[in-house]
Structure 1
Amino acid sequence: MLLAAGLGTRLRPLTDTIPKPLVPVASVPLIERIMRNAQAEGVKRFVANAHYRADQILAHFGGLIKISHEDELLGTGGGVKRALPMLVSDPFFVMNTDAFWADGADRPLAKMLARYESPHDIVILCIQPRRATGVSRSHDFCLDPSGLVTRDYGAPIIYGGVAVVGRAVFDDTPDGAFSFYDLMEKAMDDERLKGVVLDADWYHVGDPTSLAETERRLGSA
């Protein structure tokens, strides 16, 4: 599994001294929360891509995860491609470290793997907007009745920051920075972008306001 981390500029001043994945949410670092979601379904191997203060992430885990260090920012797609030699499985999960669901609330990863049928498929975690905390947009995509992700047909969903993807999807991609969304768009055009709906509340921590709201909701759950 690859854990994708951003700079966290919108979480300043918290990220002035620590990287975004280590920002605590109700005393638990973000990266540990998403790892717990994965570990609950049996995931054991983790690689984290990191640029800003990567040494702190490595020190925090004491060698329990591998670090794919980006000397320069490679974007959400380029960072995954850079880490491919460090990954064992194919397909594999990509999980953003700024979003998670409560421990024990759902086990969507197995369902996502079951939807993966072809080396050029991408399967994403879909969030019902009414169950999303920390996002202001109405939706990202739609999910049609057959489980295909579309631009405008089906139920509105928010991309939950988790995807199942195979190495073949990265063939013919540039060596350098590019967006994972580019790969999702291509898969959508090819009718290979599939979705699985999370049956749980979902929390995105992108700025101090969403952090405070997430902690409030977790405390009242």
Structure 2
Amino acid sequence: MDAFPVSPAATQADVVLPDVMLLAAGLGTRMRPLTFDRPKALIEVAGKPLIDHVIDCALAEGARKFVVNIHHKPDLMAAHIARLANALPDLTFETSYEKDRLLDTGGGLKHALPLLGSDPVLVMNTDSFWLPGSDNPIARLVAEYAKDEADCVLLCVEPDKATGFNKSADFLIDGEGNLGQTVGRPVVYAGTAVFSRELASLGPDVPFSLARSFGVARDRGRIKGIMIQTPWYHVGDPAAIVRTEQAIGTLV
């Protein structure tokens, strides 16, 4: 059986990180009642908002510009991003306001493209993270994308190593890092991906999921995966907060 593909080690010095799209507009229904009065991205885990954990992961590898989509409790999100911008003046933070309707992950990325200057762009969910410095997965994603064999490269995790995540699998990955549905071992999408602007711009002018974009890339035979090489935490419901805090406490 093919081994999981492990890209050659890549460090911050090897690559220039793209602009970062942080997906933070969702209603957080599975996190209720905590999201009745705040966005999911501002729920604290181990004393820090979820979105800050994700930003720290990107900062550890050299990210400089962040665009955050907002919709649920937008004033609270905008105020938090403004505080980050004031505290980190050497970085750039902007918000993409989905005022009239929630655009879902794919629609939110497409809507925010005018604020994102790089090609490719880095897309990160704000409910999953790893401990900064424990791996360089973003650099490895970018290095894999630079081979020009994929329109998007997804960070993946084995299902039994996805803390707080109960889904069996999103894809199968083969020994070359190709993602599909028929050949390879099961993996879960770990909420971070490098996207070409062209792929990110596709899609209808209605809300749609990034899963649609993944399908387009898969049909082209241009979707790859990279395995994360450190514990990964998905915080999707209140119980996951406890599990994640307990897991982090054993490592820090």
RMSD over equivalenced CA pairs, Å: 1.4
Instruction: For 2:242 and 2:127, locate their aligned partners in 1 and report how far apart those are by CA, in whole Å.
Output: 14
Instruction: For 1:75 and 1:112, locate their aligned partners in 2 and report how far apart those are by CA, in whole Å.
Output: 23
Question: In the alignment, which of 235, 239, 252 is matched to residue 205 of structure 1?
Answer: 235
Identity across the alignment (%): 44
Deviations 1:63-85 (A, max 9, x none): 62211000111111110000000
**Would the aligned equivalents of 1:125 and 1:196 in 2 still touch at CA under 8 Å?**
yes
Letter in 1 for 2:62: G
- Following superposition, the deviation at residue 176 of structure 1 comes to 2.1
Unpaired runs of 5+ residues, structure 1, are: none
96-105 vs 162-171, greater mean Cα deviation: 162-171
Q: Which residue of 2 aligns with 1:169?
A: 199
Instruction: For 1:170 and 1:26, locate their aligned partners in 2 and report how far apart those are by CA, in whole Å.
Output: 33
Letter in 2 for 1:70: E
158-167 vs 125-134, greater mean Cα deviation: 125-134
Instruction: For 1:110 and 1:164, locate their aligned partners in 2 and report how far apart those are by CA, in whole Å.
Output: 10
Question: In the alignment, which of 73, 94, 105 is matched to residue 66 of structure 1?
Answer: 94
SS of the residue aligned with 1:46? strand
SS of the residue aligned with 1:62? helix
SS of the residue aligned with 1:164? strand
Instruction: For 2:112 and 2:201, locate their aligned partners in 1 and report how far apart those are by CA, in whole Å.
Output: 14
Deviations 1:14-72 (A, max 9, x none): 11111111000010110000101100110011000010012112211326221100011
Instruction: For 1:190 and 1:17, locate their aligned partners in 2 and report how far apart those are by CA, in whole Å.
Output: 42
Unpaired runs of 5+ residues, structure 2, are: 1-19, 86-92
Instruction: For 1:85 and 1:168, locate their aligned partners in 2 and report how far apart those are by CA, in whole Å.
Output: 13
| TM-score, scaled to structure 1 | 0.95
SS of the residue aligned with 2:111? helix
Deviations 1:86-128 (A, max 9, x none): 0011101000000001122111111111111449611000112
**Would the aligned equivalents of 1:119 and 1:168 in 2 still touch at CA under 8 Å?**
no
Instruction: For 1:130 and 1:120, locate their aligned partners in 2 and report how far apart those are by CA, in whole Å.
Output: 26
Stretches of 4+ aligned residues off by more than 3 angstroms: 117-120
- Alpha carbons of structure 1 residues 87 and 119: separation in structure 2 relative to 1, 3 Å: farther
**Would the aligned equivalents of 1:74 and 1:177 in 2 still touch at CA under 8 Å?**
yes
- Alpha carbons of structure 1 residues 120 and 173: separation in structure 2 relative to 1, 3 Å: farther
**Would the aligned equivalents of 1:142 and 1:156 in 2 still touch at CA under 8 Å?**
yes
Instruction: For 1:33 and 1:8, locate their aligned partners in 2 and report how far apart those are by CA, in whole Å.
Output: 17
Q: Which residue of 2 aligns with 1:145?
A: 175
Instruction: For 2:207 and 2:32, locate their aligned partners in 1 and report how far apart those are by CA, in whole Å.
Output: 24
Q: Which residue of 1 aligns with 2:114?
A: 85
SS of the residue aligned with 1:90? coil
User: Are 2:157 and 1:127 aligned?
Assistant: yes
**Would the aligned equivalents of 2:156 and 2:189 in 1 still touch at CA under 8 Å?**
yes
**Would the aligned equivalents of 1:50 and 1:67 in 2 still touch at CA under 8 Å?**
yes
Instruction: For 1:77 and 1:185, locate their aligned partners in 2 and report how far apart those are by CA, in whole Å.
Output: 12
User: Are 2:126 and 1:97 aligned?
Assistant: yes
- Alpha carbons of structure 1 residues 60 and 170: separation in structure 2 relative to 1, 3 Å: closer
**Would the aligned equivalents of 2:169 and 2:188 in 1 still touch at CA under 8 Å?**
yes
Number of residues paired by the alignment? 221
- Following superposition, the deviation at residue 172 of structure 1 comes to 4.5
| TM-score, scaled to structure 2 | 0.84
Instruction: For 1:94 and 1:26, locate their aligned partners in 2 and report how far apart those are by CA, in whole Å.
Output: 24
**Would the aligned equivalents of 2:154 and 2:224 in 1 still touch at CA under 8 Å?**
yes
Instruction: For 1:11 and 1:172, locate their aligned partners in 2 and report how far apart those are by CA, in whole Å.
Output: 30
